[in-house]
Amino acid sequence: MDAEILAAVAAEAPAMTELLGELVAAPTLLGEEAPGQAVMRRAFADLGLEPFEVPLDRAALERHPAGAPFGWDAAGKANVLADWQPEGAADGRSLILNGHIDVVSPEPSSLWTREPYGAEIDGEWMYGRGAGDMKSGLAAMVGAVRGLRRLGLAPRAKVQLQSVVEEECTGNGALACVLAGHTADAAILTEPTRSTIWNAQVGVLWFQVRVLGAPAHAGDADDGANAIEASYAVIGALRELEAELNVSPPPLYAGYPHPIHLNVGMIRGGDWPSTVAGECLTHCRLALFPGERVETLKQRVEQTVATVAESRPELVRLCIEVLYEGFQCEGYELAPDAPLITGLSDACARATGQAPPLYASTATTDARTFQLYGDTPAVCFGAVAENEHGVDEHVHLPSVTTTAQAIALFIADWCGVRPSS
C-alpha cells in the first residue's frame, strides 16, 4: 500500500501549494489570526470534516501552571480543529496533527527582496513570512489527509487536525486545546524541522527589565539619570548570567557550543532627543534546559538584576524591576526509543529513502504542552525551510510533499486505515 499512498499524496502537491499560498498571503500576526483561521476552516471543510473552535479562556489559562501571562485582549480568538473519525470500531491509536497559524513580524520589511506576504514562487521555493514557520506544516497536514481520502481510506482511530494561535508568544493556544480535553496517543507538530525529528527542546522565559531614571534637560545631563544608559549595565549582567547557564549543559545539549541564548529582542526608551531618558523597557528571551524549572530561572534573573542595581553607584538611585509577559515554559525530551519516534522514523525512511536524524532544539514549540500536560507523546517533524523569523523566509515545496507523504504513511501505520464506506 505504500506506493499507492505516496502517489496519492504526491498528486495533492498542487493543492498543498495553493493552500500554502493562501495562508502566506494572510498576515497572521498576534491579534490578526482570524483571516488565516478562516482559510484553515475552509481547508478542513474541503476534506469533508466539520471544523470547530476551541477559544482561549483567560480564566482557565491563568489558573493553569503552564498558562503564560498576557496583557492583550484574547476575546474572540480561537483555535480551529477538525476530527477525522474512524468508521466502525476504533481499534487503532489516535493522533493529533498540530500546526500554528500565527507568524512573527517581517519588519524591517525594507530588508526583504520580495513582498513579505507575496507567496512568490522561485523554482522549488516559496517565499514569504510564515511560508516555513509554519504554514508549510499546515499545508502538509491537510495534504496527508487529502491523499488518504483520495484512496477512499478512513482511519481506525481518530485523527485530529489543529490550527492553533499564539505559538510564537505564549503557547496558550495549544494549552487551551489540552484543557478542552483534546489529547491523543501521539502528536506530530509539523514545524519546519528540515526533515529531522525534534524529540527535545529547551524551555523559554520572556521577561522585561523596566528602568526608571531621572529626566532632565540634555544641557543639565549630569543632574539626571539616563534610563537607557543604565540598561546597558543590566544587559551586561544578564550576558554574564547567560554565560553561566552554558557552562555545564546536560548530555542532550553537550555537543552545542552555546545552547542557551539570551536574546535582547526589543528596547523602548526615552521620549525626546534633548531630554535625559527617564524610562527604558527592555524585552528579553532566555532559555532553560529540559528538566529545569521556570521559577528557578526567574529567581536567577531577578537576583542578577538586583545585584547589578545594588553594586553600581550610578544605578543605586534608579528604580529597576523585572516584569513578565509571554512565554514561561519548561523544556521536554521524548526518549529516542519511544514508539512515536521509531514509527515516524520508519515512515520517513519509506517516504524519502533515509531515516531522519533526531535533533534537540534550542527553540521551543507547542510539543512541550502535549507531552507535559496532555499525556500525549509529541515530536516535531516538517519541511525544509530557511530564514525563519528572518529576511526572505522561504520553504522548499518538494519537502512539503515528502512531509505529507511521511505523515500519511505514519497515519496508516499508527492509526491503521480501512476502506471508507
The per-residue pLDDT for range 317-356, each reduced to its tens digit, is: 899 999 999 999 999 999 999 999 999 999 999 999 999 9
Provide the pairing of β-strand 417-419 with 52-55: unpaired
Q: Per the confidence metrics, is the pTM higher than 0.85?
A: yes
pLDDT in the model for residue 174: 98
Q: Cα(242)–Cα(191) distance, rounded to whole angstroms?
A: 27
Q: Is the pLDDT of residue 102 over 90?
A: yes
Q: Which CATH architecture has domain 203-329?
A: 2-Layer Sandwich (3.30)
Could you tell me the residue ranges of all domains in the chain? 2-201+331-419, 203-329
pLDDT in the model for residue 315: 87
Q: Is the pLDDT of residue 222 over 90?
A: no
Q: Which CATH number fits domain 2-201+331-419: 3.40.630.10, 3.90.1710.10, 3.40.50.150, 1.10.760.10?
A: 3.40.630.10
- 209: enclosing H helix or E strand: strand 203-212
For residue 377, give the 3-state DSSP assignment: coil
In the block, cell 508568544 appears at 169
pLDDT digits (tens, 9 = 90+) for 233-292: 999 999 999 999 999 999 999 999 999 999 999 999 999 999 999 999 999 999 999 999
pLDDT in the model for residue 2: 96
pLDDT in the model for residue 88: 85
pLDDT digits (tens, 9 = 90+) for 237-248: 999 999 999 999
pLDDT digits (tens, 9 = 90+) for 164-207: 999 999 999 999 999 999 999 999 999 999 999 999 999 999 99
pLDDT digits (tens, 9 = 90+) for 110-131: 999 999 999 999 999 999 999 9
Q: Cα(263)–Cα(283) distance, rounded to whole angstroms?
A: 8
Provide the pairing of β-strand 125-127 with 120-122: antiparallel
Q: Is the pLDDT of residue 223 over 80?
A: no
Q: Which has the closest alpha carbon to 61: 197, 219, 175?
A: 175
Q: Is the pLDDT of residue 135 over 80?
A: yes
